[in-house]
């Protein structure tokens, strides 16, 4: 092998200087399809990008609330707590709350882990949450069984953090320390999709015709060298700037093109299977990422509810449990919650029926219904209504209406 070609291939794939990003990027994993799969490389697949985007953006749009539990079982909203201001307003000087939560949810969905440096003031209050890229983070085990974190910055500098300095959101884990990477687990499925996409790009770059073919020659070449010279001459006359030009054959030669079917040219079945399979890995209904083959008016609404309940719901619970355990003090008696009411809203007729039933049954006030619809409360609508034909067991019945006597 030519040593110059070897190093040219080595150095062509990225900046390998101390300030380049090559040395800090994951190498990726080989798959049975022959592709090297990494988290960033997988995002080039439209199905993977769409799954991560829909999970991250919809989760980031959920309103965050912080409650203090009351003795009677009720809850009071808390808006003057440092953690609420960070998660609902501005977690750091670089990002707003939506951008930061979308980034963290994307790291969690794609890599199984999300990290933040916890910045505190002199009194122990958290003043900022600085995101750290999961690919640059390593878990460092101590001899006493505890662990810390080692982070490699863009300039190559290494910083070591204790457990208390890092807020670690982890996905499904097999050891309780680090979350499993969905891309690593789904590498063969994603690698197959990447191989199909790569082959399709090369196929259509060749005018949607197969690269293979064969030449029928009634005679025979003098020797192997003559045959190779003819092949190289033919390839040179049909490649580069000569691509698409008419070929002329002599001595009774005939060119036979390998036939291809429309299904092979469009890769419909293969590409459709990979879209559905990737959606299954991420827990996203196929219609959410544009696959409407099996979608109907009847099942889309049900699948949307299942996405909220089975994908976003567990993610929200994961965040809430981690916030309460890692960012809040135990004696504060505070509860973190992400609100799903906006995603669970039906059409206007369904909402009107829901509010009407709640108001008439007495468990919803008219002002609560107005607030749920982003309307300002009105005076005199805070008291719940009591149905006239219902009363609690053992209570005095309503006084009878005065009857007219003659």
Question: pLDDT per residue over 166-185, tens digit each?
Answer: 999 999 998 888 999 888 88
Q: Where are the alpha helices (DSSP H) in 327-398?
A: 348-361, 366-372
pLDDT at 281 > cutoff 70: yes
What are 320-354's pLDDT values in tens digits? 999 999 999 888 889 999 988 777 666 677 788 88
Instruction: Return the SS3 of 60.
Output: helix
E strand spans, 113-251: 113-120, 126-132, 137-141, 147-152, 158-161, 166-170, 213-216
pLDDT at 39: 81
pLDDT at 397: 57
273 or 384, higher pLDDT? 384
pLDDT at 126 > cutoff 90: yes
pLDDT at 208: 44
Query: Between the ranges 27-36, 72-81, 383-392, where is the mean pLDDT highest?
Result: 72-81
pLDDT at 294: 67
C-alpha 255, offset from chain centre: 49
Contact partners, residue 171, CB within 8 Å, separation at least 6: 108, 112, 113, 179, 180, 182, 318
pLDDT at 71: 83
What are 41-99's pLDDT values in tens digits? 888 888 889 999 999 999 999 999 999 988 877 788 999 999 999 999 999 999 999 99
Enter the tokens of residue 279: 């959606």
**pLDDT, average across residues 2-25:** 43
How many other CB atoms are found less than 10 A from the CB of residue 300?
Answer: 14
What are 113-125's pLDDT values in tens digits? 999 999 998 888 8
pLDDT at 152 > cutoff 90: yes
Name the least confident of 94-103, 135-144, 151-160: 135-144
**pLDDT, average across residues 2-13:** 41
H helix or E strand, kind and range, residue 159: strand 158-161
- The answer to whether residues 316 and 297 touch, using CB atoms and an 8 Å cutoff, is no
Return mean pLDDT, the chain: 78
9 class by beta-carbon count within 10 Å (0-12 exposed, 13-18 middle, 19+ buried): exposed
pLDDT at 402 > cutoff 70: no
Of 7, 48, 49, 42, nearest to 26 (Cα)? 42
What value does the CA radius of gyration of the chain take, rounded to a whole number of Å? 32
pLDDT at 278 > cutoff 80: yes
Count CA within 13 A, CB hemisphere, residue 188. Answer: 2
When pLDDT is cut at 50, 70 and 90, the band that residue 2 belongs to is very low
101 or 4, higher pLDDT? 101
What is the spatial distance between Cα 359 and Cα 173, in angstroms, rounded to a whole number? 45
The residue assigned the tokens 């060298």 is: 225
- Give the angle subtended at the CA of 36 by the CAs of 33 and 174, to the nearest 5°: 95
pLDDT at 27 > cutoff 50: no
- The answer to whether residues 334 and 67 touch, using CB atoms and an 8 Å cutoff, is yes
What is the spatial distance between Cα 108 and Cα 97, in angstroms, rounded to a whole number? 16
pLDDT at 22: 45
What is the spatial distance between Cα 139 and Cα 145, in angstroms, rounded to a whole number? 12
């Amino acid at each position: 092998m030519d040593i110059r070609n070897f190093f040219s291939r080595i150095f062509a794939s990225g900046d390998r200087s101390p300030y380049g990003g090559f040395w800090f990027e994951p190498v990726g994993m080989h798959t049975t399809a022959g592709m090297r799969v990494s988290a960033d490389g997988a995002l080039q697949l439209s199905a993977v990008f769409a799954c991560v985007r829909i999970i991250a953006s919809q989760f980031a749009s959920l309103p965050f609330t912080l409650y203090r539990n009351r003795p009677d079982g009720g809850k009071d909203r808390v808006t003057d707590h440092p953690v609420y201001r960070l998660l609902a307003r501005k977690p750091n000087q670089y990002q707003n709350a939506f951008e930061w939560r979308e980034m963290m949810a994307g790291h969690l969905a794609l890599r199984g882990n999300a990290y933040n440096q916890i910045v505190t003031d002199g009194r122990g209050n958290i003043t900022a949450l600085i995101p750290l890229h999961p690919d640059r983070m390593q878990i460092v085990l101590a001899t006493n069984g505890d662990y810390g974190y080692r982070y490699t910055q863009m300039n190559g500098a290494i910083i070591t953090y204790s457990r208390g300095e890092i807020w670690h959101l982890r996905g499904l884990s097999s050891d309780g320390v680090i979350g499993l990477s969905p891309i690593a687990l789904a590498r063969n499925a994603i690698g197959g999709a990447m191989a199909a996409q790569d082959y399709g790009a090369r196929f259509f770059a060749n005018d949607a015709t197969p690269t293979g073919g064969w030449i029928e020659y009634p005679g025979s070449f003098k020797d192997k060298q003559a045959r190779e010279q003819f092949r190289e001459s033919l390839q040179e006359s049909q490649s580069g700037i000569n691509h698409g030009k008419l070929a002329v054959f002599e001595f009774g030669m005939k060119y036979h093109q390998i036939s291809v079917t429309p299904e092979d040219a469009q890769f419909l079945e293969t590409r459709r299977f990979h879209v559905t399979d990737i959606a299954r890995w991420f827990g996203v209904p196929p219609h959410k990422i544009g696959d409407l083959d099996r979608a109907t008016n009847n099942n889309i609404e049900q699948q949307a509810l299942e996405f909220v309940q089975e994908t976003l719901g567990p993610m929200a619970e994961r965040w809430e449990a981690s916030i309460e355990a890692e960012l809040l003090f135990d004696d504060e008696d505070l509860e973190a919650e992400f609100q799903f009411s906006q995603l669970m809203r039906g059409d206007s007729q369904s909402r009107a029926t829901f509010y009407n039933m709640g108001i008439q049954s007495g468990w919803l006030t008219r002002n609560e219904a107005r607030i749920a619809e982003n309307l300002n409360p009105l005076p005199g609508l805070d008291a719940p209504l009591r149905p006239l034909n219902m009363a609690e067991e053992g209570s005095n019945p309503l006084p009878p209406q005065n009857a007219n006597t003659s």
